[in-house]
Chains A and B, each alone.
Chain A
Amino acid sequence: MTATLSAIPETAAEVVIAGAVVRCAGAWTVDRIGPLERRLPRLDWPDGERVAIDASGVAAMDTAGAWLLQRVLRGLEREGRSATLSGLRPDHEALLRMVGAPGLAAGPAEAPPGLGPLARLGRRAWASGEQAVGILSFLGEVGIAALRSVAHPSRIRWRTVLRNVQAAGFDALPIAGLLSFLMGIVIAYQGAAQLARYGANIFVADLVGLAMLRELSPLLTAIIVAGRSGSAYAAEIGTMKVTEEIDALRTTGIAPMDLLVLPKIAALVVALPLLSVYADALGVLGGTIMAKSELGVGYADFFDRLHHAVHLSDYLAGIGKAPVFAGIIAVVGCYQGFQVTGDAESVGRSTTVSVVQSIFLVIVADALFSVAFSWLGI
């Protein structure tokens, strides 16, 4: 013989008012009081000071139902009437007394009033300003920690740096290479139609070479790495913050900056330029293949032209941007990780913000580089 879970037919909770007689009936349980609750405000209570409620028809009751009944009684009292309850089973009566005990919350606290649009705008502006100051001061902390590390090279965690180089750089080779290769194909293909019209087929080498080496491959790899590694940094540090691992590090006398932040920045500053070089090569390869098949430009001609079209300075201008992008991505990712507060949702939020912010800042930096290069005539 076992306790079973069969459904017993229970009628919904009910309050029946016939003249001066009020009867409660049915099952006053959490899944049976819904309809009654919606009907309660419209009930037509009998007039008079005293209301007699006959509860002998109540078949079942749990705390939710007891609370609803308690609420009905309190509502009557608030209107200055006295309600007398009769016929309730002793165990139900005990429940009713329990939920009505003073000290049990009398209801939820009032929600704080909503903010007006102006106040919201002000708060957002303030938060953005705080964020900017926060990143700057974080950058300052990173700088100090980096100088300290340079002064004491023995404290640099080479193993961690190498592991990060592998995760952020080597493991990203397939995706960065593939996307760059496809980008080379796309540029050559789009250029082919225009160039063929002027019979300037050979200039496809200029187009692909300059576009990939100067601009696209550093930018493309930076965006891939921001999505792959920047978000991972934010999530990793954020989760460590939630689980108090960051505090544990501090109390063990290990600066989180030294163990978590500096190795990541160092690793990315090394890995991103290397990835860019690799992406350069595969992008040009993609362009070469497309030039051959669409424009009939042979490999030898292509590379001969490339040699004349692209100067060392173009190549270096592209690669030189990569460490700056790497710094932006790593600093933003780590900073956002440290912004996580207790809950799981804020880990997600910080991760998202880290990707959006770092891609935004990378593109802004790229634009600044373009302006600066044109001033310098590079």
Chain B
Amino acid sequence: MIAEATSDLVVEVRDVHTRFGSAVVHDGVSLSVRRGEIFALAGASGCGKSTLLREMILLHRPQSGSIRVFGRDLSGLSDEQALPLRRNWGVMFERGALFSSLTVTGNVGLPLREHARLSDRLVDEIAAVKIGLAGLPPSAGPKYPAELSGGMRKRAALARAIALDPKLVFLDEPTAGLDPLSAEGFDELVRHLKELLGLTILMVTHDLDLLWRVADRVAFMVAGRIAGVGTMQELSGSEHPLVREYFYGPRGRGAWEQSWKRR
């Protein structure tokens, strides 16, 4: 379990450098995520944000720099040492990564079966609760991932990510591939779950609507560096040409206007 800590830095990234061969992906990235906030990593495709996410969840190692999650340095962790971390975060992958041979209930129940000693019946019931929390109807439980629509698959993936009541949830492109209506539903779902379960959420996205409406703070990545961190209001005043282009391009303006209309 995670102690009710005195403070608030859940994720700290310090001066991370990553290279794939000769291609530089991260050229000194630093950022920190506070407890209880929805933090978004934004930026154009290929700017290194997904790689940074993979480094935070121990799927990839940076060449240098340090990443701390829950105050624990990720470099040189053995699988055994990493287990408490892995139990306390949930990850929702971009394409869901649901296990295709298990039903939705089986998918959501898998972390519970692996990590908690509960009866099958209770596991299925808790899975059903999580499926409901993720906004899926109970009829989705016995279905296989191949039988679900894209939006339902994302929700099922989210239900699996919150199966163990993690303190920290990573969302990789939560709204990519969803229609605007489903994406909007997802925005609300993320906010709602954060309030209900007291989550800290770190998401990677380039969905401007999501950034305006859900994110508390946003880090904007350009070519392997952080070009700016702050609320969307602060970032929209940024002088960085690429950030300005991102915000004041036609799509950026549209999203900004939308977010104002809704207020």
Contact = CB atoms under 8 A, between A and B. Distances in A.
Interface of A: 1-8, 10, 27, 29-31, 33-34, 37-38, 60, 62-64, 67-68, 71, 91, 94-95, 98-99, 101, 103-109, 242, 341-346
Interface string B91-122: 00000000111000100000010011111011
A8 B10 CA distance: 17
B128 interface: yes
8 contacts: A2-B71, A4-B71, A10-B1, A30-B118, A64-B118, A91-B198, A107-B128, A343-B145
Interface stretch (B136-144, B170-178, B203-211): B136-144
Contacts of B128: 104-108
Contacts of B133: 63, 98, 104
Contact of A3 (B7, B105, B138): B7
A240 to B, nearest CB: 15
A5 B146 contact: no
A94 B144 contact: no
B132 A6 contact: no
B200 to A, nearest CB: 8
Most A-side CB within 10 Å, residue of B7, B125, B129, B139: B129
Contacts, number: 143
Given A30-B112, A37-B119, A3 B10 contact: yes
A29 B85 contact: no
A149 B35 CA distance: 65
A38 B119 contact: yes
B126 A60 contact: no
Interface residues of B, number: 54
A108 B109 CA distance: 11
B5 A342 contact: no
B141 A105 contact: yes
B23 interface: no
Interface of B: 1-3, 5-10, 12, 35, 68, 70-72, 84-85, 88, 99-101, 105, 112, 115-119, 121-122, 124-133, 138-139, 141-142, 144-147, 164-165, 167, 196-198
A75 B124 CA distance: 17
Contacts of B116: 30-31, 33-34, 64
A347 B35 CA distance: 43
A9 to B, nearest CB: 10
Most B-side CB within 10 Å, residue of A34, A106, A343: A343
Given A1-B9, A64-B165, A108-B128, A342 B3 contact: no
Contact of B1 (A1, A2, A60): A60
Nearest to A33: B118
A110 to B, nearest CB: 10
A105 B117 contact: no
A8 B121 CA distance: 28
Contacts of A343: 100-101, 144-146
B126 A3 contact: no
A345 B101 contact: yes
B100 A99 contact: no
Contacts of B147: 342
B100 A5 contact: no
A28 to B, nearest CB: 11
Contacts of B84: 5, 7
Contacts of A2: 5, 7-10, 12, 68, 70-71
Contacts of B167: 3
A98 to B, nearest CB: 6
Contact of A30 (B125, B139, B164): B164
Contacts of A38: 119
A15 to B, nearest CB: 15
B157 to A, nearest CB: 16
Contacts of B85: 5
A104 B165 CA distance: 17
Given A3-B10, A34-B117, A342-B145, 5 more contacts: A3-B35, A4-B2, A4-B70, A5-B72, A63-B133
B8 A3 contact: yes
B129 A109 contact: no
B2 A3 contact: yes
A10 B112 CA distance: 19
Nearest to A347: B100
A128 to B, nearest CB: 23
A29 B1 contact: yes
Contacts of B146: 341-343
The 10 tightest CB contacts between A and B, nearest first, are: A342-B146, A343-B100, A105-B128, A104-B132, A1-B7, A2-B71, A105-B138, A62-B165, A345-B101, A3-B5
Contacts of B165: 29-30, 62-64
B87 to A, nearest CB: 8
B126 A31 contact: no
B1 A4 contact: no
Contacts of B144: 342-343
Contact of A98 (B88, B126, B138, B196): B196
A64 B2 contact: no
